[in-house]
Structures are given as structure tokens and as C-alpha cells.
Amino acid sequence: MLLGQLKMKEAVPALIEATADATINARAAISLGEIGEKSAIPALHKMAEDFPNERLWPGTAWRRWRAGRLRHRVGYGVFDARWTERRHAVEALGQFGDRRVVPALKKALKDEERKVRIAAARSLAKLGDDAALRALDETDPSK
């Protein structure tokens, strides 16, 4: 964890290797997310596939990276299978303050899982721009 907090890029190879170890892969994923090294993305994908019960941790790492990367994970890819991953991705998108995530969040407003839809609405509200507010209005059942 300290390696991630210190953003030690020289630790990335060891942390990537640690994503394959079930005893420490969660901590390794979090640290990689803190460091933000793009070369770790394939290892985090593999971790999500190899350890389906640990998919939350690669998601936690991903949310540290640019909104553009997460935008593609809201409705497909690694986050498809479980609503919890979709919700975490949607929540993370709201933290970036970047209008480019609005289309992905609009898509999440139509998710089959209510908690994902709620997270999408909250993320859009955090953005607070006209495009986000219009997206919320479009999904308002009272209109």
C-alpha cells in the first residue's frame, strides 16, 4: 500500500506480478491504481478474469485513471457480469468532473440494476453541467 501512496513507479513490475497472487492481489491493484501506470492495465484485466470474486480491486485501481478509460467499462467489458462493478465504475466517473463521461452515465441510467441507475444519477449531479442536468431530465419519469 505504501508503494502506491508514494507513487513509486519503480515498484510497478513487482506489483504487476503480485496481481497473480490471491493473498496480496487486492493490495497490489490498489497500489497500481495509486501509481497510475498504464502498463498495469493488462495485468488488472487478467486479475479480474482470474479472480472473479476480487473484481472490485481492479475496479478500484481503474477509477484512479482517466475518465476516458472508465467510460468504456460502464456498460461492457470487464464490468458486464456484476452490477457492483458497474456501480463502482459509474461512481468513479462522477469523481472526474469531465463532461466526456456524460454519454456513458446516460447509458448507465438505463441499467437493469436500480443501484447502478442511482449511482449514475448521483454522478451526473456531481458533474453539475448543463449536459449532465439534461441527461437527468431525460430520465425523469414525471416528465
- The domain of 101 spans 66-143
Answer whether residue 128 shows pLDDT above 50: yes
Looking at the fold, whether 45 and 73 belong to one and the same domain comes out as no
Kindly report the CATH number assigned to the domain that includes residue 92.
1.25.10.10
Q: How confident is the model at residue 17 (pLDDT cuts 50, 70, 90)?
A: very high
Across the range 15-22, mean pLDDT stands at: 90
| 89 shares a domain with 142 | yes
Q: pTM for this structure?
A: 0.48
Same domain, 118 and 55: no
With b meaning 16 or more CB within 10 Å and e meaning fewer, what string describes 96-117? Answer: bebeebbebbbbbbebeeeebb
- Under the banding of pLDDT at 50, 70 and 90, the label for residue 63 is low
